[in-house]
Amino acid sequence: MSENEIQICAEDEKYQNTSELAELLKNSKGGEKLKLRVGQNLKHRRLDQYLNGRITTFSRTMIQKMIKEKQVLVNNKAVKPSYALNSGESISITLPEPVSKEITPENIPLNIIYEDDDIIVINKQKDLIVHPARGYKSGTLVNALVYYTKNLSSGSEDFRPGIVHRLDRNTTGAIIVAKNDEAQWKLADQFQKRTTKKTYKAIIHGNPELDADMIKNNIGVHPTIREKQAVRPNEGKEAITIYRVAERFKGFALVDIDILTGRTHQIRVHMSHIKHPIVGDNTYGGKDVYEWQVRAQEPQPQEPVIGRPALHAWKLEIDHPKSQKRMTFTADLPEDMENMLKLLREVRSLD
């Protein structure tokens, strides 16, 4: 066995030498060889699924990429990610070079609502991912923050300096950033204990029957589409959303939404579940809206008034990490939502 090669045998889907494997992955410089042997009790598991469960350092997408690039061999042969493993088979893995942890500063405009020595509150624009992830190493809020200031917390994970919570790529509005590690853990503790208050504004399809209501349905990963979330009564995690109708129009409504939990896509999933999806949310049943539609005119080529989920983090309440003073931050609505509301008030008013 060569110097940079390690033998790890799996029995009953458990590593015999977990610590040695973890140490190898932690210190990998790329090119090391990892050998696994499929346990006797495992049959017909997809190769990519098996490795995703064994090597949690890599995402399933990364593992699939490694298999397709022949960095993963089964019995010394190249196979597909869907290859069905059998007990006793040998898996050889060539570890990829680690991704650089350096973040490139980028001069991306930031709409700063508030800043002091401990926090920055930003009104995030649409089409801006919060932190680097696979496929998105640049053009993120973190890249902009690193350019803007050298004073950021170390963050909870690599590539996330300053990041305490997140908003979806096309969700606009208030997001808070920690400028030091003390502010980071104190704010993170508030979010975990649900002492923060987050209020959103959304434009939805249709008019809810009630002026206000609580939606309490568990949310988990969609049973067949892994990129989506869904209401999962028996398998998901508790999710609580409260909406209040702020303004009604013919065919649409503006709602204020408080979330008491912070599940992925929670508002989008819950509003879709009650048959009032968010305008522009193509993933969860919403539709892009065009001016000719609102005005009930003949179809014509034009850009949508709203071509992304009409969801905005309008208000954020926190206890300041140093002074402990309760603070409320409000983020102005983005132009596309303002334009949509102006059009609805002009054409679809119920008055």
For the annotated catalytic residues, the residue numbers are: 168
Residue pair 231/222 in contact by the 8 Å Cβ criterion: no
Q: Tell whether 82 and 161 lie within a shared domain.
A: no
pLDDT at 15: 43
In eight-state DSSP terms, residue 9 is E
Question: Hey, is 175 helix, strand or coil?
Answer: strand
Q: Tell whether 200 and 330 lie within a shared domain.
A: yes
Q: Tell whether 104 and 182 lie within a shared domain.
A: yes
Domain end call among 38, 71, 94: 94
Strand 197-205 to strand 252-259: parallel, antiparallel, or no bridges (unpaired)? antiparallel
Residue pair 33/92 in contact by the 8 Å Cβ criterion: yes
Domain end call among 75, 94, 113: 94
pLDDT at 180: 92
Residue 282: φ, ψ to 5°: -60, -25
Q: Tell whether 154 and 246 lie within a shared domain.
A: no
Q: Tell whether 301 and 273 lie within a shared domain.
A: yes
Question: Hey, is 340 helix, strand or coil?
Answer: helix
Q: In what order do the strands lie in the sheet with 33-37?
A: 14-15, 5-11, 33-37, 90-94, 72-74, 77-78
Distance CA 85, CA 48 (A): 10
Q: Is pTM beyond 0.85 here?
A: no
Neighbours of 197 (CB within 10 A): 15
Q: Tell whether 70 and 115 lie within a shared domain.
A: no
Neighbours of 198 (CB within 10 A): 22
- Total domain count, the chain: 3
Q: Tell whether 189 and 255 lie within a shared domain.
A: no
Instruction: Indicate which CATH number applies to the domain containing 37.
Output: 3.10.290.10
pLDDT averaged over 10-residue windows placed end to end, the chain, 351 residues: 47 47 69 80 78 72 86 92 88 76 86 96 92 72 92 77 89 95 92 93 97 95 87 91 97 96 93 96 93 90 91 97 96 97 94 76
Q: Tell whether 72 and 124 lie within a shared domain.
A: no
Instruction: Write out the residue range of the structural domain in which residue 144 sits.
Output: 99-193
Instruction: Indicate which CATH number applies to the domain containing 257.
Output: 3.30.2350.10
Residue pair 53/13 in contact by the 8 Å Cβ criterion: yes
pLDDT at 88: 83
Q: Tell whether 208 and 178 lie within a shared domain.
A: no
Q: Tell whether 122 and 59 lie within a shared domain.
A: no
Domain end call among 76, 94, 112: 94
In eight-state DSSP terms, residue 82 is T
Q: Tell whether 263 and 200 lie within a shared domain.
A: yes
Q: Tell whether 283 and 151 lie within a shared domain.
A: no
Distance CA 196, CA 317 (A): 6
